[in-house]
Amino acid sequence: MFPGSTILDVLTAAGLFLGLLGSLELWFYFGNHARKRRTEQPDQLANIQGATLGLLALLLGFSFALAAGRFNDRVQLINQEANAIGTVWLRCDLLPDTAREEAHKLLQAYTAQRIALYDAINAAARATAVAESEKLQNRIWEIFSNTAKSFPDRANVLLPPLNELIDLHGSRMAASQRHMPSVLLGLLIACSAVSVGSVGYGCGVAGKRNAVLTTALTFLIAGTLWAIIDMDHPRRGLIRVGQQPMLDLQKLLLPNAAAR
């Protein structure tokens, strides 16, 4: 049984391909009809095809690069957060015994909540994970700040990594909200449909076409659109950021806690 997000991803890819293929066939029909009436100027049509395909290539290139950049930023944030949690864990050795034990348990719970945040399947589960994470942050900060007050010489060692951990929480939340604006995505899809349609129209005017090549072009454009959309939503679909750094950290923390 495939997860719902994968099914939605497949349906999105199929919808893009079939939609563009429909545009190709529709405008091929119109072009073939225009050829019979001999109303088209081939040179003018070639210029329009070149302009639309050039514009599409530009839009796809920039959109793909931006989506890949956002995807890479999210990957780096997860790595940085896992490293920050590990650093805070090590700095717990500077806490008094009772505080150190509680801080370790809180960090274990915090790591679990960060994993739950990524795996949340709906807004309610996501909001719960965020609220629990912030609650745990406040308690850990309270423990560290109390120790810093009691031992001022440890403040510069204890507080900076915890500050970084808290900042990364905010950075991840902000990154999860950064997507391609709907208007621009609609423009990109519309430009793709027009470009594929112009190819179909030109083939119709010429009275012949290479079905394999035109279908392959449509498939490639649809595949690029799908990749842009999928990378822009890395918690769902086939191209996913993943939680492996957090999962590895969780496995590392649990044995250490048991050993203590």
Is the pLDDT assigned to residue 48 strictly greater than 90? Answer: no
Percent of the chain whose pLDDT exceeds 70 = 93
pLDDT value, residue 25: 93
Residue 118's pLDDT band (boundaries 50, 70, 90)? confident
Please give the structure tokens belonging to residue 172.
């991840």
Instruction: State the Cα–Cα distance between residues 176 and 243, nearest whole angstrom.
Output: 14
Is the pLDDT assigned to residue 1 strictly greater than 50? Answer: no
How much is the CA Rg of the chain, to the nearest whole Å?
27
pLDDT in tens, 162-179: 999 999 999 988 888 888
pLDDT value, residue 210: 87
- The residue range of the domain holding 251 is 4-259
**CA separation, residue 52 to residues 63, 64, 203 (Å):** 16, 18, 15
Rounded to two decimals, the pTM is 0.81
| Tally of structural domains, the chain | 1
